[in-house]
Amino acid sequence: MTTTLADAPAEPAFEVRRNVPRFDRERLALIALLTATAVAYLWNITVNGMGNEFYAAAVQAGSANWEAWLFGSLDPNNFITVDKPPVSQWVMALSGQLFGFSSASMLIPEALMAVGSVALLYGAVRRISGPRAGLLAGAALALMPVTALMFRFNNPDAVMVLLMTAAAYCAVRALGQNGARWMALAGVALGFAFLAKMLEGLMVMPAIGLVYLVAAPCALRRRLTHLLGSLLAFLASSSWFVLLTLVWPASSRPYLAGSTDNNFMNLVLGYNGFGRVLGHNHYGTHVDVDPVAPAGGHHADFGGFGNQTQGLPRLFTGEFGFEIGWLVPAALLAVVLVMVARGRAARTDIVRAGAILFGTWLVIDGLVLSFMKTNVHPYYCLSLAPAVAAMFAIGISEMWRRRDDRLGQIGLATMLMGTAAWSFWILARNAAWLPPLRWGILVLAVAATAALLWALHGKNRTVASIALAVALIGALSGTTAYTVATLGQPHTGGGPSVGPPDPDGGHGHGWHSDNPELNTMLRATTTKWSAAINRSGAAAGLELATDTAVMAIGGFTGSDPVPTLDRFQTYVADRQITYYILPESKAADRGGFFGSNSHTDITDWVKANFTSTKVGTDTVYDLRSPLKK
């Protein structure tokens, strides 16, 4: 018999009887979950200040100038963009346009995206395994440290994951009815996910294509037609921006940072695409290192780069392990268990389809992150979070449905005890933080799992339901504790990390903006750009501190080929720049990440033709007063 979305959902994990209709109980539970997520993620969100100043400067620019909003410019006078497409900036800067630029107007939309992601994941898993599995999936997503970190931050990852989750939700809906329409909507969501963070936003695309091809309840020809329609919708929703950058005269729009030729696809396929996966980027001398995390804590070095060993262990160790690793083993096991349990089901079986969708997403995205060679931020694993949460919930639900046979009992015990034991190991890596917690998790999980197996053998359904609930609490306690610790800490800079405070200060990197005398000088300028400085990070900090436009020479890494010396000389001759700033070397390049300055010709010309003044720790050249020769 064919199993479709119209069939009765899998039997729920908890038997809760109230004098309230089942639908109302489900709706109230969902409202409670979404409300709790909103309160937790919005609470004291401005403690994160400007978050990542690099993106905050772009939001500030987009809040003041519509062209900067459209292209994601770093400054309101549109010299250069950030090194990502602008969807994330569109949302935050539009909020700034409406409510004024501030930490709150920038970060609140990010937290609301978390609520949306939880709701969409709930909706998808509910249609696969029932409402209680949907609630478990949504809660698991909200209780992951990386989710709490990045949905209260201003990096593009939040909107990307919201759109990826929306695409997965549309794919699940397409497996029921109106497949063509829902697959087209999935394509649109993927298109905008691409415009949020390029190829990373497409990590769910193979899973969506595979599950629809395998499990959609229609003939093969129609399935292929619907997939083609979805692809066309994706191309339409993503390529318009690419075409815009091509038809808009390059001389009157900002340079596309991260590209070598001011071409968007160069950025997609090079610097932010295969360049990261294969380790070939254009900014020179950066070499990955593998420093040892300090005892009693964990941290990322500059920007979170270079502290993760490449290979399969990456997701389970280092900062990755603290951010996403809590439920990954159970989620991978769930893929196997569900495929075995539903192996003889009809082609359109919705539970197996769910395992195909979220399992393929988990495996493909996980492998890419594990073997990425260059510039791997641990928080990139946010893209895995919906797949991990969904597979954990689907696996628990399916094993509970089969609780009367050996597979269900062994599967439940292994997932629950395995997750608790794995949490114990992760917490032991930060042994100085709440030592009793990991032992309490282990004891609770052992006792609850033993009670669960005893009740299942005795066919005592009530005790089994209670034991399952307690075992789930134990299994999720580790990730919950780290999430709560994450919510309680401020996070700023390029490489924020999760959990309790790091004694070495590993919550990120602040940019150059701590020179009050220099800030006062820049605020007093009237030129198009108050100053020029190497690299976007330094420019961003000055823009936020002074509310002026600062020219970021060379973009994020300092190696983008703009401006040329001739062009810079023209800007100076036209009196469009007041100062050239040569920062203290450590402020310009902490940790040696960026390698050498690619625009030494500009620096040498300025030194040879203008007088320098020491302002705080920085050397400042007044470009309005050339040396007399």
Question: What are the pLDDT digits (tens) for 175-222?
Answer: 998 899 999 999 999 999 999 999 999 999 999 999 999 999 999 999
Q: What's the pLDDT at 280?
A: 60
Mean pLDDT of 47-57: 97
Question: What are the pLDDT digits (tens) for 365-391?
Answer: 999 999 998 778 999 999 999 999 999
Residue 283 confidence (pLDDT) above 70: no
Measured CA to CA, the distance from residue 75 to residue 543 in angstroms comes to 8
**Residue 437: burial class (beta carbons within 10 Å; 0-12, 13-18, 19+):** middle
Residue 297 confidence (pLDDT) above 50: no
Residue 306 confidence (pLDDT) above 60: no
Residue 590's pLDDT band (cuts 50, 70, 90): very low
Question: What are the pLDDT digits (tens) for 246-271?
Answer: 999 999 999 999 998 999 988 887 76
Per-residue tokens: 467: 């034991």
Per-residue tokens: 566: 């001739």
Residue 317 confidence (pLDDT) above 50: yes
Check: CB of residue 255 under 8 Å from CB of residue 560: yes
Question: What are the pLDDT digits (tens) for 421-436?
Answer: 999 999 999 999 999 9
Residue 292 confidence (pLDDT) above 50: no
Q: Choose the weakest-confidence range: 278-292, 398-412, 503-517, 611-625.
A: 278-292
Sign of CA dihedral 558, 303, 114, 44: negative
Angle of the 406-428 helix axis to the 461-487 helix axis, nearest 10: 30
Query: Distances from the Cα of 242 to the Cαs of 191, 218, 245, 264, 276, in angstroms?
Result: 11, 34, 5, 6, 21
Mean pLDDT of 296-320: 69
Mean pLDDT of 530-553: 97
Per-residue tokens: 479: 């990730």
H helical segments located in 78-178 = 87-99, 103-129, 131-142, 145-150, 157-174
Residue 320 confidence (pLDDT) above 80: yes
The number of residues making up the chain comes to 629
What pTM was computed for the model? 0.92
Residue 136 confidence (pLDDT) above 70: yes
Strand order in the sheet with 577-582: 550-553, 529-534, 577-582, 618-626, 610-615
Residue 586 confidence (pLDDT) above 60: no
For residue 83, which of 113, 58, 50, 48 has the smallest C-alpha distance? 58
Per-residue tokens: 340: 């075995």
Mean pLDDT of 39-62: 98
Q: What's the pLDDT at 514?
A: 82
Measured CA to CA, the distance from residue 109 to residue 41 in angstroms comes to 11
Measured CA to CA, the distance from residue 203 to residue 186 in angstroms comes to 13
Structure-token match 């990590």, residue found: 203
Check: CB of residue 114 under 8 Å from CB of residue 483: no
Residue 303 confidence (pLDDT) above 60: no
Mean pLDDT of 112-138: 98
Query: Distances from the Cα of 347 to the Cαs of 219, 222, 403, 567, in angstroms?
Result: 12, 15, 24, 62
Rounded (to 5) percent helix, strand, coil in the chain: 60, 5, 30
The 10 Å Cβ neighbour count of residue 524 is: 11
Residue 505 confidence (pLDDT) above 70: no
Query: Distances from the Cα of 321 to the Cαs of 313, 383, 624, in angstroms?
Result: 9, 14, 53
Q: What's the pLDDT at 384?
A: 98
Residue 2 confidence (pLDDT) above 80: no
Structure-token match 């980027």, residue found: 281
Q: What's the pLDDT at 270?
A: 72
Partner residues linked to 613 by β-bridges: 620
Better-scored residue on pLDDT, 9 or 416: 416
For residue 264, which of 227, 229, 230, 238 has the smallest C-alpha distance? 238
- The share of the chain scoring above pLDDT 70, in percent, equals 86
Residue 502 confidence (pLDDT) above 90: no
Residue 291's pLDDT band (cuts 50, 70, 90): very low
Q: What's the pLDDT at 595?
A: 45
Residue 511 confidence (pLDDT) above 60: no
Question: What are the pLDDT digits (tens) for 8-49?
Answer: 444 444 343 345 577 788 999 999 999 999 999 999 999 999
Better-scored residue on pLDDT, 235 or 16: 235
- The highest-confidence range among 298-307, 321-330, 510-519, by mean pLDDT, is 321-330
Q: What's the pLDDT at 70?
A: 98
Question: What are the pLDDT digits (tens) for 429-461?
Answer: 999 999 999 999 999 999 999 999 999 998 899
Residue 318 confidence (pLDDT) above 90: yes
Q: What's the pLDDT at 375?
A: 79
Task: Give the DSSP letter of residue 306.
Answer: S
Better-scored residue on pLDDT, 279 or 459: 459
Cis peptide before 626 (omega within 30 of 0): no
Question: What are the pLDDT digits (tens) for 84-96?
Answer: 999 999 999 999 9
Torsion angle in degrees (nearest 10) through CA of 537, 538, 544, 548? -120
The contacts of residue 387 (CB under 8 Å, 6+ apart) are: 204, 331, 358, 359, 361, 362, 365
Structure-token match 């794919």, residue found: 171
Q: What's the pLDDT at 308?
A: 61
